[in-house]
Structure 1
């Protein structure tokens, strides 16, 4: 990741904090002319350049992301309270997605299973795809209307 300016470092710290405290996100895909959302357990690289999630290849989300090659992942800290409208933070990571293989998959699988031990058998299944979202940018929304963007450059 490129060297960040002070404001970007502040945003990155907030993004990292949200990713560290949440374990499940909403994956947005698009395929066959329709948007589709699903819950996924995610893991991530501390440099914020990459997030991981797993899915069975026989799912609609896999078909959609294979068709378009791009996804959005929403992570938030809401607690299903009225106050969430003004107090919750929501983070959307966007970018290309790809299935991992070989040593890259092995490394990502270790990261993912360390964060989600209950998914170890699922991740290791031959029918499961382990995917990497190569984050291009993060959109962070706080206090209902405060929007910040963090660009992630290679």
Structure 2
């Protein structure tokens, strides 16, 4: 239980400290990765990003909602092999619609105020990733995981 709490705290700190992540989707042409600016819900159960509806990532999500978002704190230096950490959030993506859209947009813009025009563009969609599990990799080889479902089960 202590290790799980440490993992949860490390995931929480790392994700909240970063602006960008690499979104992985799958489509007809195979795997696809793209850089996205994201925000996270207060309870760490959902991640949000904005994308034009004409992108390959949006088409892939529409066809197959299974996604992964990789977030890391590396700085592209040799010390990363001993100090950097990465979190992969695995889950399902869904498009946010009114009435929830406004609160999600406000939450997103609190982290990314410079993306206001993009976030309000009628050609863009807000997407939420409902996280099923987080996988934490520290010091290049220590891997731990926790499932959101397990956390939900322990609170009921």
Short-chain TM bin: over 0.9
Q: CA deviation at 1:86?
A: 2.4
Match of 2:86 among 75, 90, 94: 90
TM-score by length of 2: 0.92
TM-score by length of 1: 0.93
Deviations, residues 103-144 of structure 1 (Å, cap 9, x unaligned): 211111111011000111111111110000000000000011
Alignment of 1:5-24 (within 5 A): 5-24=1-20
Q: CA deviation at 1:20?
A: 1.4
Aligned length: 150
Partner of 1:44: 40
Contact 1:16 1:46 in 2 (8 A): no
Give unmatched runs, 5+ long, in structure 1.
none
Deviations, residues 25-78 of structure 1 (Å, cap 9, x unaligned): 000011014101110000001211000001000001101111111110000000
Partner of 1:147: 143
3-state secondary structure, aligned to 1:149: strand
Partner of 1:29: 25
Output the CA distance in 1 between the equivalents of 2:34 and 2:78: 23
Please, what is the CA RMSD of the aligned residues?
1.1
Give unmatched runs, 5+ long, in structure 2.
none
